[in-house]
Amino acid sequence: MSLEEEIGAILKQKGLTLGIVESATGGLLSHRITNIAGSSDYYKGSVTAYSNQVKIGVVGVREDTLNQYGAVSAEVAEEMALGGRKILGADICLADTGIAGPGGASAGKRVGLFYIGLSHGESTFSRKHNFTGDREQNKQSAAEAALQWLKEYLTGLG
């Protein structure tokens, strides 16, 4: 069984719905989730919030947060996940923001840096990852890490 199938089975078993807000993965997470037949039973949809304007205007990330921490930060990943959960009406929302490469690095933030956010109930979390591939590999690695974390989180729910 694929990772996406396992996630779908757990979501169905627990009666939970999923939403996704993607930046650096550009729709890859949504693509993987919707490759599973029957995903409409638990998958609400996604927003690909690639620009800061969409992060602010659609998802609800605060402009102050972007200015203070930058788009690639734990704080923005968490606000994306929380905002996405609200606008998509999902029980759980997964989000990502990162620097896929080859450009985009800045002082203290190198290519391959990703933050993944997860929001559910009263809790919102983030995880930091540093990947070392090319653009496509970094996007694939981020999607895989996000889905692995989601499965781990769902498995841990009572």
pLDDT in tens, 26-84: 999 999 999 999 999 999 999 999 999 999 999 999 999 999 999 999 999 999 999 99
Structural domains in the chain plus CATH codes: 3-156 (3.90.950.20)
Indicate whether 155 pLDDT > 90.
yes
The interaxial angle of helices 135-156 and 3-14, nearest 10 deg, is 30
Percentage of residues in the chain having pLDDT higher than 90: 96
Residue 129 scores a pLDDT above 90: yes
What's the rounded Cα separation, in Å, for the pair 110 and 122?
32
The mean per-residue pLDDT over the stretch 137-156 comes to: 98
| pLDDT interval class at 128 (50, 70, 90) | very high
Percent above pLDDT 70 for the chain: 100
Q: What is the pLDDT of residue 95?
A: 98
Residue 107 pLDDT level (bands cut at 50, 70, 90): confident
State yes or no: pLDDT of 106 exceeds 90: no
The pLDDT value given to residue 84: 98
Q: Collapse the DSSP code of 16 into the 3-class scheme (helix H, G, I; strand E, B; otherwise coil) and give the result.
A: coil
Task: Write the CA distances from 141 to 20, 51, 58, 98, integer angstroms.
Answer: 16, 21, 26, 11
